[in-house]
Structure 1
Amino acid sequence: MKKTVLVLMAVVMTTLSNAQEIKQVPQISVSGEGKIKVTPDYAIISIGVENTGNDAAEVKKKNDQTVDAVIKYLKGLKIAAADYQTKQVYLHKNYDYNKKKTSFIASQQISVTLRDLTKYDTMMMGLVDTGINNIQGVEFKATKLAQYESDARKAAVVNAKAKATDYAVALNQKIGKAILVSDNSQTNFPQPRMYAMASMKESADGMPQETLAIGEIEITSNVSISFVLE
């Protein structure tokens, strides 16, 4: 029994000793950031049509006519069928208690992916002509986003390693292998710088109208790394 206790104590002491050695490894922890800025190469445009009237069937019919015109127009622009989709269909009965009247509101939203941004002005003017009366917004995207995110992560690691090296040199030491890596990335899509795309139309002064500012997508990666300090 005494021998067993001694063996257990030896195991515990060895474990504690190893734990202390791990904790006592000199190390340096730094953060790094990598940023990649790219120009978007396609856009997702949200459009819609809304009609109000006293008859539900009539307002829906007006919406259906506009949507039919939109789809035919997009086909004429050679927009792939996979690049436009109905996102919402809405029909609401509204009662005005003051006027004691009932009315109906019908709306439909469509999302259009435009892969050729040079067609933006032409497409938007054509869509307005079809009868849409609601544009929710334009979201710019990049087709190689996964590759750009990878590049940003690599840049963040390089940035962190450079910081660690600066500190180590100042201490007359050098960094060793990485022993802990934490990814703190969050992808955002700010547009800090704006580029204007010229329209095919001209303004009153004869200069091309600039109606689309596509900006830049900024992909940011943040990482925390602990290196062995030698």
Structure 2
Amino acid sequence: MKMWMRAAAMGLVLGAAAAPMALAQTAPAGAGDAVFRATTLNVAAYGETKIAPDMATINLGVMTEAATAQEAMAANAARMNQVMAALKKGGIAAKDIQTSQLSLEPQYHYEQNQPPRLTGYRATNQVTVTVRDLTKLGQAVDAVVSAGANQVGGINFGLVDPTAAENAAREQAVKALAAKADLYARATGHRVLRLVTLSEGGSFSPPPPVPMMAMSARYKEADTAVSPGEVKVRVDVSGVYELTR
């Protein structure tokens, strides 16, 4: 009887030990394991198109100084009204004129070992103007300066609708991405099996704004010359490819 009970106990132990081994052999591999069994390639590329701009934004305004705050603001308002009238006369719609700065600041004279002395007030009113007909841009600048604008910032050129340029850049980016993947695959003795993932990160690259000092030098001419040049539209993409032998 004792011999039989000992044998039965040994059988239970062996059976308990064998069960986990069988499960380990028949359990399916996890989804993450497939990534390590495949050879993948992560690459990035970009596409870029250049196109003539069809719009521009320009910052301009009026700065006035006077002995009192009321006088500074009144003088500024009078000159700014003339500037606004010149813009509208030049064909700029009200929706394309937006106030970007309105300020009134006291002005002080500083001397060593002396308290600051108030000398007057400075009023500033600036607007951002969108010009949709670039053939009239130079005339518009001349008109507002003649009307009293004494602050002109920079000009930024752009596109009213960049969709077509962006799509062209996307096509170039995808072609460049595929070509780069093929090159790496051949260099490592592989071939591209499929594209696994594709992601995009795009950026619009307008030319730098024309600085104020460069434009101020031109105001003495009969007509301000403005060269819009080209704007660049760039789209960056990245992708993961699966490779095979």
Flag whether TM exceeds 0.5 (same fold). Answer: yes
Question: Partners in 2 of 1:210 and 1:11 — Cα distance?
Answer: 82
Distance 2:62 2:192 in 1: 62
> Where in structure 2 are there 5+ consecutive unaligned residues?
1-15, 209-220
Say if 2:52 and 2:231, in contact at 8 Å, map to a contact too. yes
Q: 1:35-88: per-residue Cα shift (whole Å, max 9, x none)? A: 111111110010011011111111111110111111211221222110111111
Sequence identity of aligned pairs in percent? Answer: 28
* 1:195 aligned residue: none
Measure how far apart 1:12 and its partner are.
9.5
Cα deviation 1:179-198 (Å, max 9, x = unaligned):
1224344332236xxxxxxx
| Alignment partners' CA distance in 2, 1:218 and 1:6 | 63
Which consecutive unaligned segments of at least 5 residues does structure 1 have?
A: 192-202
Q: Which residue of 2 aligns with 1:214?
A: 228
Return the match for 2:103 from 90, 95, 108.
90
For 2:134 and 2:231, the matched residues in 1 are separated by 15
3-state DSSP of counterpart to 1:215 = coil
- Find the aligned partners of 2:98 and 2:147 in 1 and give their Cα distance: 17
Aligned pairs, number = 213
**In 1, Cα distance between equivalents of 2:82 and 2:223:** 26
Q: Which SS does the other structure have where 2:225 is aligned? A: strand
Partner of 2:124: 107
Q: 2:165 aligns with which of 128, 148, 154?
A: 148
Distance 2:26 2:107 in 1: 76
Q: 1:65 to 1:7 in 2, by over 3 A?
A: farther
| Secondary structure of the structure 2 residue equivalent to 1:160 | helix
Partners of 2:38 and 2:180 lie apart in 1 by 19
2:77 is aligned with 1:64: yes
CA distance in 1, matches of 2:63, 2:22: 79
- 1:38 and 1:24 map into 2 onto residues whose CA distance is 46
User: Following TM superposition, by how much is the alpha carbon of 1:229 offset from its aligned partner in structure 2, in angstroms?
Assistant: 1.4
* Superimposed CA distance per residue, residues 153-191 of structure 1 (whole angstroms, 9 cap, x where no aligned partner): 232111110122233345564322211224344332236
From the CA coordinates, give the structure whose radius of gyration is larger. Answer: 2
Per the alignment, residue 165 of structure 1 pairs with 182
Measured in 1, the distance between the counterparts of 2:230 and 2:180 equals 28
Residue 101 of structure 1, CA deviation: 3.5
Q: 1:184 to 1:114 in 2, by over 3 A?
A: closer
Code of the aligned partner of 2:171: K
Cα distance in structure 2, aligned partners of 1:121 and 1:105: 28
Greater fraction of residues in strand: 1
Query: Judging changes above 3 Å, is the alpha-carbon distance between structure 1 residues 75 and 10 closer, same or farther for their aligned structure 2 residues?
Result: same
> 2:7: which partner in 1?
none
Q: TM-score w.r.t. structure 2 length?
A: 0.76
Q: Structure 1 stretch 171-180 or stretch 213-222: which is displaced more?
A: 171-180
More displaced 10-residue stretch of structure 1: 169-178 or 128-137 = 169-178
1:127-154 per-residue CA deviation (whole Å, 9 max, x = no partner) reads: 1111010001111111122332233223
2:63 corresponds, among 50, 61, 86, to 50
